[in-house]
């Protein structure tokens, strides 16, 4: 929405510089996006009289003119009479007219502020000099007009500034509509001016014609036209008024000043009839619509019988903009008899449009259910000025005074006369109920100490009725404040109008109970820090993925929540695991020259298969995934690199994990990217599977252009957290006695799992009183053999004496026997 | 000559058995079909040509999946329980200096830490929610135009990726009700990822982070709200700050406003330069009521603001899109 400051000034005395005004409006009414200095583009634009005008020799359409600017412009060539020569090609140029002149060295307003401003010169044209130009409405950045140059319709002095005469020395305030969603009244200049007056502390008087809720509609010329109105469903429309005017002259334009006001706030002038409806809408917030009466009677089966009803199945309507829409039962439709002639509040129908042959018109002033209209707006994509105002909820009281003013202005600007009664139908209406609030309540919420007088005066400054009964105030909001329902609305008015910034900041009182960060947050921070120390980079990737990303890893797309209204196909689905998102950013980083890296993400995933919570919203799974890659092929499988990082992480967290190969089928989506022969479940000491680790399938590597050396893991953070939080610290006092180390080498079948040997060793170590520690030293398999040698190192210490060689030998002997028995190993 | 369907059946079977599936594309049957296209009646030619092309596409996709099966079959299994591979040694971790924390999570930790010390509990916000929590519980009636400002995504099931962390407000209020009625207060922040369905550019993202705060007691005032927010920003920027507000409309607060601070010196701010930081207001009585809290007895304030903005200001980051880009060239600028 654009607010013209000059338009405001017609209703409120503003004597502040523009920056102070903008600041005050920002602090007390609404945020201003931008302040535009409209006057700047017209600073050299002058009104001139065309004194002489004759066809230019050798041209079939150009005229040579002499213009009078009362000698105002300095830097220009004049003839003996002080007149300036300008060549003009417009068909409507004639001697004696007042026109608008853009002198040499001025910038054409239409190009002002653009990347290529056009500066005029005195230039020769067909052998004569043309000094600047006479301007059209388009060149003046006002509106499209094909009739030629702009003809000044005011009795102005030649040489006066165009901007002054037409009040274009203006500032425009750009305000986002949604910032005022709750304030229908401010969508009209008068309502906005009332607010400005209140924050400036200036008097404000609502124009008289807007005050009377039961106005006179001017003289009725004749009673030739009959009209009836029926609201079929009273919920749809609070009030519908209509009147017939005749002898309208559809080719007449509204006064130029009105056209300039409309165009500066973004409305295109059309003709006097349409301009009246738009002008009053911008002024009051109440949209109006004009139908061609004769067309409406024709499509309505011979009479003007207006019905406000819901759309019907299979009903269609061709709109003013030429679009053919299918109406819905949720649309509100204006019908003549059975035929739809308008989409209520949104746009009229083409079948009753005002055109150059229109003689008689129906003017509609009504208000409709805002929720219905909003759904119409969304369904049909209509964002007109009218529906923008209707969907804020205009009060029913407003239709009458605005209609009366419309009848008057249409008479003045288009020559139309009223020829029918004003027909009215009413639906369900709401009205403002008085609200009772105490002074202490207001101060208790705001944290202020306003006096009763301050509060009462503030409310009265915006035309609220206040009845005082000791410190109890009964407040009646004026009808245009449909947003005032509860005590808090009154409190807001007081705070806002007196300025929230005048309130002294305080701090809430609270007790000294310590608030602890959540255990999970502390765990998550540890987790993050441990991976960072392991050389990994934390990334954040989108929660939504393209379906192709899931297909590339072999995940079932049907198990993902699908976004239905995404602007981009990259945001089609909620992801089911983090790994695909990580894989998707590996190649771009490799291409950037990063040869060795690990990336990880801690975030949430949302596969459908996990079901809903007791609130009936999807269960969220906290997940941590890591991928490690190297563009060089290193010794050993990449699997063990990922495992090394994971082991480091869990050691830092104080727990140990087991790795179980994935036997049998497991189609869970988190496993999908991983190669069945090279992946393992990650299992806690309590036998809880918390995730997967592995290398990626070859097909996945191809699809994501991964380096050959690539592996990763993905775990559920909540399960990892449970494992960590169940773990108690297990400190053993240091031994004061020296210990010893023994290496043992086992020869086993190549397919024997390492864990089998480790378990056999531990079964012995767990039994002994001695303090022991087991470390792998070497895993060796000679070329072409079916066996491997696993070397382990056992450190042994006693807590209460120096370990003897015999004790150590005995333990090693037991270990050897255990491994030989359970793993078929031989000790070498 | 065989029909297209016959050829499809035969060639797909060959692909499924082949060790070199790509060779199937050279099959005579396929060549014959292509040869036939130019001889066919012009009225049927387009449809026939399309069918042949569809066949070729089907074959190619079957070949790709067969190839990946063949490739995956060449993979040898390994001992997942071993600490390292045969004939190698324990793999090294990556160099510690490669390790980096994401600036957004780092900053979020700072924000959470300050609020925790001020007495607020912190909970993470949901990333998928329903209409009730996103809108209705926050006093947005069905079809209300105020919903337009949020540009929400929707899933087929009509779940909503929340467009603000206020989606947690009803839950926080319900959870805190007992404590409140026992004479305590509700003081909590919710933080996390939020989503708006909008085009992405240097200053707009469909995915970003917010932090929301709620304080409810018998005596919480608007002046307390302004004081609390100022205290947070003064702690965050380590200096005293001027603050100002602008009236604003959010259905879940009344009065509602936007909160700005004078740009701190540490960010190169000069007096008179303002930074809009967040939206805030006194919690609307309907929101309290929906959570089962008596608005005639308790009152509170709430606020919500973007975290990405704090990070951009702090480091002078020029493009919001870097955050979720996963670019190491960006991430490695943030040493932890």
Nearest to B121 among A515, A598, A675 (CB): A515
Q: Retrieve residue A95's tokens.
A: 């001697």
CA distance A348 to A67: 45
First to last CA, chain A: 88
- With an 8 Å Cβ cutoff, are A563 and B247 in contact? no
CA distance A645 to B189: 33
A107: β partners: A119
CA distances from A402 to A56, A211, A346, A393, B78 (A): 50, 10, 18, 16, 84
Nearest to B223 among A446, A564, A699 (CB): A446
Angle A389-A392-A394 (CA atoms, 0-180°, nearest 5)?
75
Q: Which residues constitute the domain of residue A492?
A: 436-502
CATH number of residue A469's parent domain: 3.30.56.10
Tokens 């071993």 map to which residue?
B82
Nearest to A488 among B128, B223, B284 (CB): B284
Give domain limits for chain B.
4-73, 103-331
CATH number of residue A158's parent domain: 2.40.50.140
Among A331, A389, A488, A671, the residue to mutate for chain B (most B Cβ within 10 A)? A488
**How many domains would you assign to chain A?**
6
Residues A688 and A778 in one domain: no
Q: Retrieve residue A308's tokens.
A: 């406000």
- With an 8 Å Cβ cutoff, are A543 and B130 in contact? no
First to last CA, chain B: 70
Whether A508 maps to a domain, the answer reads no
pTM attached to this predicted model: 0.83
Residues A538 and A479 in one domain: no
Contacts of A55 (CB under 8 A, 6+ apart): A62, A63, A64
Interface size, chain A vs chain B, as Cβ–Cβ contacts under 8 Å: 363
Nearest to A567 among B94, B193, B199 (CB): B199
CA distances from B33 to A35, A479, B21, B42 (A): 69, 78, 19, 15
- With an 8 Å Cβ cutoff, are A561 and B128 in contact? yes
Whether A211 maps to a domain, the answer reads no
Per residue in B34-69, pLDDT (tens digit) is 888 888 888 888 888 888 888 888 888 888 878 877
| Residue finishing a domain among A113, A145, A165 | A165
Per residue in B308-331, pLDDT (tens digit) is 999 999 899 999 999 999 999 999
Tokens 């274009």 map to which residue?
A168
In terms of CA atoms, which chain B residue is nearest residue A581? B326
Whether A390 maps to a domain, the answer reads yes
Burial of B35 (0-12, 13-18, 19+ CB in 10 A): exposed
Nearest to B226 among A445, A505, A564 (CB): A505
Cis-peptide into A497, omega within 30 deg: no
CA distance A207 to A480: 14
Residues A806 and A663 in one domain: no
Chain B residues whose beta carbon lies within 8 Å of the beta carbon of residue A492: 247, 254-256
Chain A residues whose beta carbon lies within 8 Å of the beta carbon of residue B245: 27, 500-501
Burial of A4 (0-12, 13-18, 19+ CB in 10 A): buried
- With an 8 Å Cβ cutoff, are B255 and A500 in contact? yes
CA distance A59 to A62: 6
In terms of CA atoms, which chain A residue is nearest residue B77? A677
Residues A284 and A379 in one domain: yes
Q: Retrieve residue A426's tokens.
A: 């009413």
pLDDT at A212: 82
Q: How far does the CA of residue B265 sit from the closest CA of chain A (Å)?
A: 22
Residues A83 and A134 in one domain: yes
| Residue finishing a domain among A375, A404, A426 | A426
Q: 10 Å Cβ neighbour count for A50?
A: 25
CA distance B233 to A85: 65
Q: Retrieve residue A123's tokens.
A: 């230039």
Residues shown for chain B:
336
CATH level 3 topology of B103-331: BirA Bifunctional Protein; domain 2 (3.30.930)
Q: Does B166 touch chain A (CB under 8 A)?
A: no
Q: How far does the CA of residue A543 sit from the closest CA of chain B (Å)?
A: 8
Cis-peptide into A480, omega within 30 deg: no
**8 Å CB contact between B196 and B96:** no
Chain B residues whose beta carbon lies within 8 Å of the beta carbon of residue A694: 80
Q: How far does the CA of residue B49 sit from the closest CA of chain A (Å)?
A: 28
Q: Does B255 touch chain A (CB under 8 A)?
A: yes
In terms of CA atoms, which chain B residue is nearest residue A661? B80
Nearest to B285 among A488, A534, A637 (CB): A488
- With an 8 Å Cβ cutoff, are A565 and B154 in contact? yes
- With an 8 Å Cβ cutoff, are A500 and B99 in contact? no
Nearest to A181 among B76, B146, B220 (CB): B146
In terms of CA atoms, which chain A residue is nearest residue B118? A515
Instruction: Give me the residues of B, 54-113, that contact A with CB < 8 A.
Output: 65, 68, 71-72, 74-102, 104-105, 109, 112-113
Q: How far does the CA of residue A337 sit from the closest CA of chain B (Å)?
A: 30
pLDDT at A219: 79
Instruction: Give me the residues of B, 308-327, that contact A with CB < 8 A.
Output: 323-327
The DSSP result for A213-253, as a single string, is SS-----B-------EEEESSTTTEEEEEEEEEES--TTPP
Among B70, B75, B82, B169, the residue to mutate for chain A (most A Cβ within 10 A)? B82
Whether A514 maps to a domain, the answer reads no
**8 Å CB contact between A242 and A226:** no
Residues A452 and A466 in one domain: yes
Whether A215 maps to a domain, the answer reads no
Whether A195 maps to a domain, the answer reads yes
CATH number of residue A695's parent domain: 3.30.930.10
Residues A44 and A81 in one domain: yes
CA distance A394 to A417: 27
The DSSP result for A6-64, as a single string, is HHHHTTS---S-HHHHHHHHHHHT---SEEEESGGGGTT-EEEEEEEEEEPTT-SS-EE
Residue B1 has pLDDT above 60, yes or no: no
**Which mean pLDDT values do the consecutive 10-residue runs of chain A (828 residues) have?**
96 94 91 93 95 89 93 90 93 94 94 91 88 94 88 92 95 90 92 93 89 83 82 95 92 94 94 95 96 95 94 94 93 95 95 93 95 90 92 91 95 92 92 92 95 95 93 93 91 93 92 86 95 96 95 93 90 96 97 96 96 96 97 92 96 93 83 93 95 94 93 97 89 86 94 94 92 94 93 93 91 94 89
Q: Does B235 touch chain A (CB under 8 A)?
A: no
Residues A579 and A721 in one domain: yes
Whether A223 maps to a domain, the answer reads no
Among B61, B76, B99, the residue to mutate for chain A (most A Cβ within 10 A)? B99
CA distance A305 to A309: 13
pLDDT at A176: 87
CA distance B292 to B216: 13
Q: Retrieve residue B133's tokens.
A: 């929590």
Residue B286 has pLDDT above 60, yes or no: yes
Chain B residues whose beta carbon lies within 8 Å of the beta carbon of residue A620: 126-128
Chain A residues whose beta carbon lies within 8 Å of the beta carbon of residue B156: 561-562, 564
In terms of CA atoms, which chain A residue is nearest residue B64? A699
pLDDT at A223: 64
Residues A571 and A679 in one domain: yes
Whether A734 maps to a domain, the answer reads no
Q: How far does the CA of residue B90 sit from the closest CA of chain A (Å)?
A: 8
Among B76, B94, B233, B320, the residue to mutate for chain A (most A Cβ within 10 A)? B94
CA B64 to chain centre: 33
Residues A579 and A669 in one domain: yes
- With an 8 Å Cβ cutoff, are B226 and A500 in contact? yes
Nearest to A537 among B157, B224, B331 (CB): B331
CA distance A626 to B83: 18
Chain B residues whose beta carbon lies within 8 Å of the beta carbon of residue A647: 83
Residues shown for chain A:
828
- With an 8 Å Cβ cutoff, are B185 and A510 in contact? yes
In terms of CA atoms, which chain B residue is nearest residue A371? B143
Contacts of A192 (CB under 8 A, 6+ apart): A3, A8, A29, A186
What average pLDDT does the structure give for chain B?
91
Chain B residues whose beta carbon lies within 8 Å of the beta carbon of residue A540: 102, 104-105, 323-324, 326
């Amino acid at each position: 929405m654009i607010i013209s400051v000059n338009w405001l000034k017609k209703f409120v005395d503003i004597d502040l510089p523009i920056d102070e005004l903008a600041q005050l409006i920002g602090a007390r009414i609404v945020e201003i996006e931008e302040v535009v200095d409209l006057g700047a583009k017209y600073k050299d634009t002058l009104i001139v009289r065309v004194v002489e005008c004759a066809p230019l020799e050798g041209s079939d359409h150009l005229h040579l003119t002499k213009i009078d600017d009362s000698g105002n412009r300095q830097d220009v060539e004049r003839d003996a009479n002080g007149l300036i020569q300008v060549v003009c090609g417009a068909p409507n140029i004639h001697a004696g007219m007042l026109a608008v002149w853009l002198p040499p060295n001025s910038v054409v307003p239409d190009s002002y502020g653009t990347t290529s401003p056009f500066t005029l010169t005195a230039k020769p044209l067909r052998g004569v000099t043309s000094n600047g130009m006479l301007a059209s409405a388009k060149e003046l950045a006002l509106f499209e007009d094909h009739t030629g140059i702009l003809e000044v319709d005011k009795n102005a002095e030649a040489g006066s500034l165009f901007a002054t005469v037409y009040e274009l020395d203006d500032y425009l305030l750009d305000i986002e509509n949604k910032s005022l969603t709750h304030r229908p009244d401010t969508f009209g200049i008068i309502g906005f001016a009332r607010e400005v007056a209140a924050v400036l502390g200036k008097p404000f008087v609502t124009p008289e014609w807007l005050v009377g809720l039961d106005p006179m509609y001017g003289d009725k010329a004749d009673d030739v036209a009959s009209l009836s109105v029926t609201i079929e469903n009273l919920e749809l429309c609070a009030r519908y008024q209509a009147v017939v005017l005749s002898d309208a002259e559809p080719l007449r334009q509204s006064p130029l000043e009105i056209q300039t006001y409309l165009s500066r706030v973004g409305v295109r002038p059309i003709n006097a009839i349409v301009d009246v409806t738009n002008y009053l809408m911008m002024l009051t917030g109440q949209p109006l619509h004009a139908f061609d009466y004769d067309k409406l009677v024709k499509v309505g089966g011979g009479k003007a019988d207006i019905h406000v009803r819901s759309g019907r199945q299979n009903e269609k309507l061709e709109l003013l903009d030429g679009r053919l829409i299918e109406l819905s039962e949720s649309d509100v439709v204006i019908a003549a008899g059975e035929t739809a002639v308008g989409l209520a509040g949104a746009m009229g129908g083409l079948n009753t449009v005002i055109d150059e042959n229109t003689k008689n018109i129906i003017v509609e002033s009504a208000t409709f259910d805002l929720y219905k209209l909003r759904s119409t707006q969304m369904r049909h994509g209509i964002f007109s000025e009218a529906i923008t105002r209707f969907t804020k909820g205009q009060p029913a009281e407003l239709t009458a005074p605005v209609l009366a003013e419309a009848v008057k202005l249409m008479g003045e600007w288009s020559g139309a006369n009223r020829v029918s009664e004003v027909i009215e139908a009413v639906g369900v209406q709401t009205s403002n109920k008085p609200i009772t609030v105490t002074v202490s309540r207001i101060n208790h919420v705001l944290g202020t100490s306003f006096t009763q007088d301050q509060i009462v005066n503030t409310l009265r400054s915006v035309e609220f009725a206040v009845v005082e009964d000791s410190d109890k105030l009964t407040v009646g909001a004026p009808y245009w404040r449909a947003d005032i329902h509860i005590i808090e609305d009154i409190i807001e008015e007081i705070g806002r109008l007196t300025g929230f910034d005048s309130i002294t900041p305080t701090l809430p009182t609270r007790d000294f109970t310590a608030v602890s960060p959540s255990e999970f947050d502390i765990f998550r921070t540890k987790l993050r820090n441990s991976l960072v120390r392991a050389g990994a980079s934390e990334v954040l990737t989108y929660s939504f993925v393209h379906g192709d990303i899931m297909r590339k890893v072999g995940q079932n797309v049907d198990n993902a929540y699908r976004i239905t209204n995404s602007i981009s196909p990259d945001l089609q689905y909620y992801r089911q695991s983090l790994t695909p998102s990580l894989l998707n950013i590996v190649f771009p980083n490799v291409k950037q020259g990063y040869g060795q890296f690990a990336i990880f993400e801690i975030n949430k995933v949302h596969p459908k298969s996990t079901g809903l919570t007791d609130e009936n919203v999807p269960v969220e799974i906290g997940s941590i995934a890591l991928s490690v890659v190297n563009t060089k092929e290193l010794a050993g499988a990449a699997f063990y690199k990922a495992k090394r990082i994971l082991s480091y992480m869990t050691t830092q967290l104080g727990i140990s994990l087991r790795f179980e190969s994935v036997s049998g089928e497991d189609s869970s989506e988190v496993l999908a990217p991983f190669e069945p022969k090279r992946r393992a479940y990650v299992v806690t000491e309590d036998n809880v599977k918390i995730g997967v680790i592995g290398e990626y399938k070859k097909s996945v590597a191809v699809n994501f252009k991964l380096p050959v050396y690539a592996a990763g893991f993905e775990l559920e953070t909540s399960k990892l957290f449970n494992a960590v939080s169940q773990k108690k610290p297990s400190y053993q006092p240091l031994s004061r006695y020296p210990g010893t180390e023994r290496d043992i080498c086992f020869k086993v079948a190549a397919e024997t799992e390492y864990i089998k040997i480790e378990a056999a060793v531990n079964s012995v170590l767990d039994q002994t009183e001695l303090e022991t520690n087991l470390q792998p030293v070497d895993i060796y398999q000679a070329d072409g053999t079916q066996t491997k040698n696993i070397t382990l190192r056992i450190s042994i210490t006693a807590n209460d004496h120096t370990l003897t060689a015999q004790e150590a030998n005995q333990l090693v002997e037991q270990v050897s026997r255990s491994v030989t028995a359970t793993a078929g190993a031989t000790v070498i | 000559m065989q029909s297209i369907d016959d050829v499809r059946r035969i060639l797909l079977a060959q692909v499924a058995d082949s060790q070199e599936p790509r060779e199937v594309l050279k099959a005579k049957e396929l060549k014959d079909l292509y040869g036939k296209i130019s001889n066919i009646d012009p009225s049927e030619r387009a449809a026939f040509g399309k069918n042949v092309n569809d066949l070729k596409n089907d074959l190619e996709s079957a070949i790709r999946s067969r190839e990946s099966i063949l490739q995956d079959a060449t993979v040898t299994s390994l001992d997942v329980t071993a600490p390292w591979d045969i004939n190698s040694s324990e793999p090294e971790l990556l160099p510690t200096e490669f390790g980096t924390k994401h600036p957004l999570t780092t900053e979020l930790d700072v924000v959470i830490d300050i609020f925790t010390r001020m007495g607020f509990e912190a909970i993470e916000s949901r990333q998928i929610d329903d209409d009730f929590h996103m809108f209705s519980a926050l006093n947005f009636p069905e079809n209300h135009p105020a919903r337009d400002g949020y540009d929400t995504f929707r899933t087929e099931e009509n779940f909503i990726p929340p467009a603000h962390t206020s989606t947690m407000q009803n839950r926080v209020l319900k959870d805190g009700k007992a404590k409140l009625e026992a004479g305590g207060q509700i003081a909590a922040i919710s933080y996390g990822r939020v989503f708006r369905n909008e085009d992405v550019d240097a200053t707009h993202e469909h995915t970003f982070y917010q932090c929301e705060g709620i304080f409810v007691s018998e005596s919480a005032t608007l002046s307390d709200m302004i004081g609390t927010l100022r205290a947070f920003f003064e702690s965050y920027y380590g200096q005293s700050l001027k603050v100002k507000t602008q009236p604003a409309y959010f259905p879940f607060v009344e009065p509602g406003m936007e909160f700005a601070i004078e740009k701190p010196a540490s960010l190169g701010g000069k007096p008179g330069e303002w930074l809009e930081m967040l939206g805030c207001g006194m919690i609307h009585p309907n929101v309290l009521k929906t959570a089962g809290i008596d608005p005639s007895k308790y009152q509170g304030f709430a606020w919500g603001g973007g975290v990405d903005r704090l990070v951009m200001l702090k480091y002078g980051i020029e493009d919001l899109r870097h955050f979720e880009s996963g670019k190491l060239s960006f991430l490695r600028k943030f040493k932890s």
